[in-house]
Structure 1
Amino acid sequence: MLFFFNSNKMFFLFTLFFKTLISISANSWLGCWIGLEINSLGFYPLISTPNNLLNSEASLKYFLTQAIASINFLFAIILNLLLMKNFFNNNFISILINSSLLMKMGSTPFHFWFPNIMEGLSWLNSFILMSWQKITPMILLSYYFNMKFLAFIMILNVLIGAMGGFNQTSLRKLMAFSSINNLGWMMAALMISETLWLIYFLLYSFLISIMCFLFYLLNIFYINQMFNFNINFIIKFSIMINFLSLGGLPPFLGFFPKWLIINYLILNKLYIISFFFIMMSLIMLIFYIRIIYSSFMFFSIKLKWFKIHIKNNFLILINFFSFISLLGMILSTLFFF
């Protein structure tokens, strides 16, 4: 996906990768804070475009929210050093640290900036914000998390992500609420095992990379643009497969990590949480299917001067990834057992 960028932005993209390693490999909270700040500074030049007011507004909003989260994180670190380490202080500081990290990744109840910023970004920057920018806060969250607090936030993420997707006409906002919903699943996977979180994160990043790449090629930002008759049926079928896989419908590949999480919750007799997670996934599938149904059943006027041309190698690549998503669940299940 590097062809999205010019040489300057490719430089910032590579530095974004190395700056994430600073926070992960730090052996103190101050080093983690420095890595978070440098990582945010590497993302500002990617989303700021002087010729586009929406990108400039999104970069300013992102800067303000990340600055507030960093101040809270630094304040929690200082309190952790100054206060006595009794139970009340440890519980309060852990909630403060977790809240600042949740704000950085766009989790509920600090999610209000996330869909608005996504609306002003390109599809590549949206992909980075939904995937790569969540790595460092999630790993730092695993170092010092409050179990009861994060269990409540996890359920709230799944609920807000499912309910917020209704009545959305923008695909970027819809993907933002889908990211909030999947963030709840990732937090559940993180509390179970870091290996399970890594599996879920890699598969989720794989699926949204296909979606963002496909929407970039088609230059689609709103649902009514998918009614266009000139979009090939195979492309619409690829969008349908990837949407259903992202929603976690079996036998697609996106069902595999959710199946592992639900299996663990049921084995530990957490039936209410597992039922809640399954029901919210079904609600997510409702507005995914609404988009797919609208694009297949309704067509706008076919304009001869408006045609979408995609190179054959790109279309083959998208169909190959969709085929992996279709058969990946069956193959992974056979390999798992």
Structure 2
Amino acid sequence: MKNSSYFMFMMMLLFSYMMIISSNNWLSMWMSLEINLISFMPLMYNNKNMYSSESMMIYFIIQAMSSILFMFSLINSNIIMYNNINMFYMLMMFSMMIKLGMPPFHWWSVLMMKKMKWWTMFMLLTMQKIMPIIILSFIMMKFMMLFIMMSAMMSAIGGINQTNILKIILYSSMNHTSWMLLSLFYENNLWIMYMIMYMLILIMFINIMNKNNIMFINQMNMNMNWNNKIMIMILFLSLGGLPPFIGFLPKWMILQTMMNLNMYLYMMIMLMSSLIILYFYLQIIMNMLVINYNLMKWNNKKMKSLSMLNLNMILNLMLPIMLMMNFI
């Protein structure tokens, strides 16, 4: 914050949020989106990362394209709404989905993840999603429900075989955003509480990752002590929405509202996507429990490592015993 330019762009960013909250027409919302884009791009710059300028260019091109689509729908609103009002809302919805990076418009955000800092990623996955969600709250339509279900399943499947933690958090954020958009159909203010809880969990998670300089799953076994590992396990379970952790509370409220409205099919799809997300979180937790590296000093240009726990051996020993007990 000692940097005056950083402080100025941060104030502009906050001003854009206040502007869209107080806007009463589409044009002022579009202006707030453009102010937000101009103020966020300099915050993405990192002189220690040679790829930061590339990520800035990707972000600018995608956001500019979505803004052009949004502006095109506004300019031709009289013609489009005269023929079909749903087409007007669909164009605006597609532009906001591109800004959010929701599947199937999510490839630009996947390309950016390996070129970003942890705290810049936090702003991109949380604060930068507030404005498109506010605009989407005004244009809710039934077709959007199909879009949300597809996004939830695609984001869950996309994160299964990832080894980069940044990409895993990205796909998880897409799934959480699907829950937030789903809450717009039932209770308009529920997504605000969901976003606040998600931001609190993500702040604690990113703080540990940033301090230990961790980017990949295998680094979590080497660079962290057991206290940090236990904290990461709890945060993973909370991000996955496992009860009784706090990440389950907003999902529980949305599920309860869906049950009252007999939306059982949509509820099962969202639960299945959350279970897949929880699966690859549990996969990382099992990897942290099974393997624990004790890093020694360099000796004859070789590094020795010890495996403290091996749950696979325990399971291999327990399985025959359990089968024998069943036969008895």
Q: TM-score, length-normalised on structure 2?
A: 0.87
Q: Which has more helix, going by share of residues? A: 1
Change (3 A) 1:51 1:244: closer
Which amino acid counterpart does residue 181 of structure 2 have in structure 1?
M
* Cα shift at 1:50: 4.4
Which amino acid counterpart does residue 236 of structure 2 have in structure 1?
F
2:163 counterpart (157, 161, 169): 169
Q: Does 1:99 align with 2:94?
A: yes
* Cα shift at 1:118: 2.0
Corresponding residue for 2:215?
221
Q: Which moved more, 1:50-59 or 1:167-176?
A: 50-59
Change (3 A) 1:106 1:302: same
Which amino acid counterpart does residue 133 of structure 1 have in structure 2?
Q
- Contact kept, 8 Å, 2:49 with 2:115, in 1: the verdict is no
* Cα shift at 1:194: 2.0
3-state SS of the aligned residue for 1:85? Answer: helix
Q: Does 1:239 align with 2:232?
A: yes
Q: Does 1:182 align with 2:162?
A: no
Gap regions ≥5 residues in structure 1: 306-337
Corresponding residue for 1:127?
122
Corresponding residue for 2:51?
54
Gap regions ≥5 residues in structure 2: 299-328
Corresponding residue for 2:104?
109
1:278 counterpart (271, 278, 282): 271
Q: Which moved more, 1:180-189 or 1:15-24?
A: 15-24
Corresponding residue for 2:79?
83
Which amino acid counterpart does residue 173 of structure 1 have in structure 2?
K
- Structure 2 distance, partners of 1:96, 1:303, is 58
1:34 counterpart (18, 31, 36): 31
* Cα shift at 1:84: 6.2
Change (3 A) 1:125 1:108: same
3-state SS of the aligned residue for 1:200? Answer: helix
Identity within the alignment, %:
37
- Structure 2 distance, partners of 1:9, 1:50, is 14
2:280 counterpart (259, 284, 287): 287
- Structure 2 distance, partners of 1:281, 1:199, is 19
- Contact kept, 8 Å, 1:157 with 1:183, in 2: the verdict is no
Q: Which moved more, 1:205-214 or 1:12-21?
A: 12-21
- Structure 1 distance, partners of 2:244, 2:103, is 30
- Contact kept, 8 Å, 1:119 with 1:172, in 2: the verdict is yes
Q: Does 1:14 align with 2:47?
A: no
* Cα shift at 1:303: 3.1
The structure with the larger Rg is 2
Corresponding residue for 1:312?
none
3-state SS of the aligned residue for 2:84? Answer: helix
Q: Does 1:264 align with 2:260?
A: no
Change (3 A) 1:50 1:108: same
Corresponding residue for 1:319?
none
- Structure 2 distance, partners of 1:303, 1:180, is 39
Q: Does 1:73 align with 2:91?
A: no
- Structure 2 distance, partners of 1:133, 1:292, is 29
* Cα shift at 1:24: 2.2
Higher relative contact order (CA 8 A, sep 6+): 1
- Contact kept, 8 Å, 2:80 with 2:88, in 1: the verdict is no
- Structure 2 distance, partners of 1:10, 1:209, is 20
Which amino acid counterpart does residue 111 of structure 2 have in structure 1?
N
Q: TM-score, length-normalised on structure 1?
A: 0.85
* Structure 1 residues 188-227: aligned runs within 5 Å: 188-227=182-221
> For 1:229-262, what per-residue CA distance to the aligned partner results, in whole angstroms no more than 9, with x for missing partners?
x521111000000110011000000000000111
> For 1:125-166, what per-residue CA distance to the aligned partner results, in whole angstroms no more than 9, with x for missing partners?
000000000001100111122x22210111012101110101
- Structure 1 distance, partners of 2:172, 2:4, is 31
- Contact kept, 8 Å, 2:81 with 2:88, in 1: the verdict is no
> For 1:199-246, what per-residue CA distance to the aligned partner results, in whole angstroms no more than 9, with x for missing partners?
111111111111111111111011110111x52111100000011001
Q: Does 1:157 align with 2:154?
A: no
